[in-house]
Chain A
């Protein structure tokens, strides 16, 4: 417990120092990092409970973005509110994908699960490409480019929504896992599927609902991103990769850790980008920090 406290103190100290010396990088890093964790949380939920690394995660995000684009383009649906339409649709898509593919291979080697999501990913991306071509689509709403003044610094206001949403989604997941009957069952399944089955939990149902629910949660990230990104078929891949990175950095089952990791990596990236002449190295810092944290954790485990 004390160790975790130390970690938090260290984290906030880091935030403070960055804010003091590189205020722009502070805000940008905070916003981007929150977006990364907002996308990563559903992936981590699936990985923690179903034990499945979903390589199609980012592509489901792409699909959500296209749905929002259509809603805006055809029906003038405001992007932020489109979540109420996208979430149920993604829930159904998640359900169908799960029943058609993943459930059928649950009992075989766990790498088969990984590969089947890779198959789903290719199929999804190419299907999107065939429907909408590779030309990017954009949605423009004026409020997404407003900026506000904080301590004399002019920053975009819209992306602060990412911070609120990532904390909101984190609380939502924790609430579901702790306070609902489904969540408690899901938690038990995540800890020990065989034991859970013995005490009468319907493991199959828990898996199905967890996967569909987590897919539906992607809609939150999707609806917020609509006015800020270019929507194109291969958008999702890098988000899958980043989500995977955050989950590994936080450690399995550590949901708050994902938000912390996201912000840490976002800040590291933003700081490097803010140094003129060195912004090409930001990826190196992103992955460097990631490797360092994982290696240190692994080393500690080995020592213990």
Chain B
């Protein structure tokens, strides 16, 4: 009961944040939520035991699909987010059939390599993608109204959080965690591993694609180097691990902690603030092994 009222309180706070916060906080909160969704989607894949390094790749695919849809096919910006998600999902469907048979680091490296492949394609197919210079839209989504953008990203984040919870609470969870813990046992229990893996891969890629599409519409541009930047892989992974993996609240907590830390550290310390950021990551891992959320949970339970 207390948990439920906390969640309702948090949602109400998040929804009404733009009415009292300044533009800066709204902007920072918006980008943190984008990274939070990436972190959650990465964690959802990880719950099946598959370590994906393709977050930035599908993020970029969604971003490009959305910008091209608006620029070349005059789709409305809001619709283009769905197009970004669907495009990423379709590519994930096609590739998943081939790469999901790989395990552990072979899967990780293949997804990482695919990101580079997407980037090279974006850079070289210049008729479609604008080449190395990228593509711009003259108007950002909602004409750049930061509050509307914030609410858009917030609703997207709520959908992602809900999806993650559905994965945690339904039959999918049992299938997924049994795959992670022992594939042979899962197989012998009659779970069609491949079907589940593919399903999770498609859903998480769609989330990443939608995140990319929103990011691209918010800033009204795509460019190979910025859009496929490894930041969209490394930061979400760090967020999920710092917060605590295999759960919904973990990546959320991690995104909030690291997101605000990186933004406000640089105001305190203009030069070399990333050193402190690195040290925060190291210390969290050493002293809070299960992540911030996992450790809090343990403390609460042991009381």
A: residues with CB less than 8 A from B are 53, 101, 104-105, 108-109, 111-112, 115-116, 118-127, 129-130, 237, 241, 244-245, 247-248, 252, 280-281, 283-284, 286-288, 290-291, 294-295, 297-299, 302
Most buried by B among A104, A237, A284: A284
**Which residues of A sit under 8 angstroms from B105, Cβ to Cβ?**
53, 247-248, 252
- Bound complex: CA A270 to CA B268 (Å): 47
Output the nearest chain A residue to B102 by Cβ-Cβ distance: A298
Of chain B, the residue at the smallest CB distance from A251 is B106
Whether B297 is near chain A, meaning CB under 8 Å from some CB there, is: no
Q: Does B279 contact A (CB under 8 A)?
A: yes
Q: Is B275 an interface residue (CB 8 A)?
A: yes
Cβ of B285 < 8 Å from any Cβ of A? yes
Q: Does B56 contact A (CB under 8 A)?
A: no
Q: Which one of B99, B278, B289 contacts A119 once the chains associate, using CB atoms below 8 Å?
A: B278
Tell me which residues from 100 to 146 in chain B have a Cβ below 8 Å from any Cβ of chain A: 101-103, 105-106, 108-110, 112-114, 116-117, 119-121, 123-124
Give the residue name and chain of the B residue nearest to A302 (CB): B101
Nearest-CB distance from B80 to chain A (Å)?
Answer: 27
Instruction: Give the CA-CA distance A281 to B102 in the complex, in Å.
Output: 26
Is the pair B110, A126 in contact by a Cβ cutoff of 8 Å? no
CA distance A115 to B240 in the complex (A): 10
Contact of A248 among B106, B119, B280, B281 (CB under 8 A): B106
- Known contacts being A115-B241, A116-B285, A119-B278, is A248 close to B109, with CB within 8 Å? yes
The answer to whether A115 touches B237, judged by C-beta atoms less than 8 angstroms apart, is: yes
Say whether A287 contacts B116, CB under 8 Å: yes
CB-contact partner of B113 in A245, A297, A298, under 8 A: A245
Please pick, from A116, A252, A294, A302, the residue contacting B282 in the complex, using a CB distance under 8 A. A116
Interface residues on B, range: 35 or more
Known contacts A244-B109, A280-B123, A281-B124; is A291 also within 8 Å of B282 by CB?
no
Q: Is the CB of B106 within 8 A of A126?
A: no
Q: Tell me which residues from 188 to 213 in chain B have a Cβ below 8 Å from any Cβ of chain A.
A: none
Chain B residues whose CB sits within 8 angstroms of the CB of A105 once the complex forms: 285-286, 289
Give chain B's interface residues, CB within 8 Å of chain A: 46, 51, 98-99, 101-103, 105-106, 108-110, 112-114, 116-117, 119-121, 123-124, 230, 234, 237-238, 241-242, 245, 271-272, 274-275, 277-282, 285-286, 289-290
Q: Are A295 and B102 in contact (CB under 8 A)?
A: yes
Given pairs A108-B289, A284-B117, 19 additional interface contacts (CB within 8 A):
A53-B105, A115-B281, A118-B234, A119-B278, A119-B281, A119-B282, A122-B277, A125-B274, A126-B274, A237-B230, A241-B112, A247-B105, A280-B124, A283-B116, A283-B119, A291-B114, A295-B102, A297-B106, A298-B103
Write the nearest CB–CB distance from B278 to chain A, whole angstroms. 3
A-B contact count (CB 8 A): 118
- The answer to whether B110 and A291 touch across the interface, beta carbons within 8 angstroms, is yes
Complex CA distance for A116 and B242, rounded to whole angstroms: 10
10 contacts between A and B (CB under 8 A): A105-B289, A111-B46, A118-B238, A122-B275, A126-B272, A248-B109, A281-B120, A287-B114, A287-B120, A294-B102
Interface of A is mostly: helix
Which of A121, A237, A283: most chain B Cβ within 10 A? A283
Chain A neighbourhood of B99, CB < 8 A = 291, 295
Known: A119-B278, A120-B278, A130-B271. A295 touches B98 (CB 8 A): yes
Q: Which of A111, A122, A290 contacts B245 (CB 8 A)?
A: A111
A61 to chain B, nearest CB (A): 18
Q: Which of B101, B113, B286 contacts A116 (CB 8 A)?
A: B286
> CB-CB < 8 A to A283: which residues of B?
116, 119-120
Complex interface: chain B residues within 8 A of A119 (CB): 238, 278-282, 285
Q: With a CB–CB cut-off of 8 A, which chain A residues contact B286? A: 101, 104-105, 116
Q: Determine the chain B residues whose CB is within 8 A of the CB of A294 once the complex forms.
A: 102, 106, 109-110
| Minimum Cβ distance to chain A for residue B261 (Å) | 12
A288 to B286, CA, bound (A): 37
